[in-house]
Structure 1
Amino acid sequence: MQTSTPDHDMLIPDCAGGESFALMVMGQSMTPEFQEGEIIIIEPEGLAKDGSYVLAWHNEEWTFRQLLQAGDGWVLHALNPAFPDEPLVSLADVRGVIIQKALPGRRRASKHYI
């Protein structure tokens, strides 16, 4: 029996063994820590914990936010105060942890998060 895969699963690179992959930051929701145009490295099998920067499937789209514990649940927190916190339905929606950022052409601007 073959099962169908949700369309959003097709958007994550099909990496053997959960290999890390890179994405470019778009928008201003994570400033000042992450600037538009920076490259972030995502570890699909990384441990998501309170304070981690994560890639999550939320409200029918991919989003990059900080994961924060709020009471008995979790929220996706934008560092830019112009963007509201969003409650996270399930930690299963977290698909990776950001482990590094880099600004193309500026090696010294690289920063590790683990």
Structure 2
Amino acid sequence: MISPTKLKQHRQKNLSQTAIANELGVTRATLSAWETGKTIPNKKHLNKLAQALQVKIDELQDEHPHLTLYKQLNKSNKKKVDDLTHDLLLEQKVIPLFSVQVLDNIALSAGHGNGIWDEYETKEVFTNKEYLYDVATWIEGQSMDPIYQDGEVALIREGGFDYDGAVYAIAWNNQVYIKTVYLENDGYRLVSINNTYPDKFAPAEDNSRIVGKIVGHFMPII
């Protein structure tokens, strides 16, 4: 994971926040958030950062404290650590975890809708199942309870409308919703699973469009 401290140190050796932000095409506030650890840059921005700062990506990453200590051991003690680690893994049932990069400031609204940002960062979370998807983002709200819950990650396969009754991410009036969608003559009918929420109608004249189908969802393990 990127180290805010290392990022700031390398940046201060080279250019100002404003200069780096302009080179990357982001705001100064975005760069400041990276340097304070409030958000992390996505893969594209991380590559551009490394190029702008003329460093390798590894030089911007945090090193785990245990690895730092391990490097200080002599060859004999390193082998003892390796052997102990191997034995401990054999004693426990190891559950493989899969990394998912979630768009961190774009959420699918399972309520009244949520705004879309052109600039976004990602947050790494983990699940114990491997999925095939194009985009991952958060679910906010209770309108799709009990199946799609507030705080879960939604996985989207990008594409257009497929069939009635599927759950889609749909963009409408500069907001994104997660809803069960039905195609009408003049737009889309958006239906909630939680029947305490009324149906919505997204007229075609509003340029509403299907972002993609929801192909998975999960509550992050860590």
Normalized against structure 1, the TM-score is what? 0.66
Select the structure that is richer in strand. 1
Kindly indicate whether residue 151 of structure 2 is the aligned counterpart of residue 52 of structure 1: no
Say if 1:20 and 1:44, in contact at 8 Å, map to a contact too. Answer: yes
Aligned to 2:118, the other structure's residue is in SS state helix
Kindly indicate whether residue 197 of structure 2 is the aligned counterpart of residue 89 of structure 1: no
Select the structure that is richer in helix. 2
Quote the RMSD (CA, aligned, Å). 2.8
Give, in whole Å, the separation in 2 of the partners of 1:47 and 1:95.
Answer: 9
Give, in whole Å, the separation in 1 of the partners of 2:119 and 2:214.
Answer: 17
Count of aligned pairs between the two proteins? 93
Extract unaligned runs of 5+ from structure 1.
Answer: 1-7, 14-18, 107-114
Match in the other structure for 1:39? 153
How big is the shift at 1:49? Answer: 1.4
> How do residues 1-114 of structure 1 correspond to structure 2 at under 5 angstroms?
10=118, 20-45=134-159, 47-69=161-183, 72=185, 74-90=188-204, 93-105=209-221
Normalized against structure 2, the TM-score is what? 0.36
Say if 2:191 and 2:200, in contact at 8 Å, map to a contact too. Answer: yes
Bigger Rg, which one: 2
Aligned to 1:36, the other structure's residue is in SS state coil
The CA deviation string for residues 52-107 of structure 1, in whole angstroms up to 9 with x for no partner, is: 1111112331111111245x45301111112111113238611111011112129x
The amino acid across from 1:49 in the alignment is Y
Give, in whole Å, the separation in 1 of the partners of 2:169 and 2:117.
Answer: 13
The answer to which structure, 1 or 2, has the higher relative contact order (CA under 8 A, 6+ apart) is 1
The CA deviation string for residues 16-55 of structure 1, in whole angstroms up to 9 with x for no partner, is: xxx7010111111110111111111001126531111111
Misfit runs of 4+, over 4 Å? none
Extract unaligned runs of 5+ from structure 2.
Answer: 1-115, 122-132
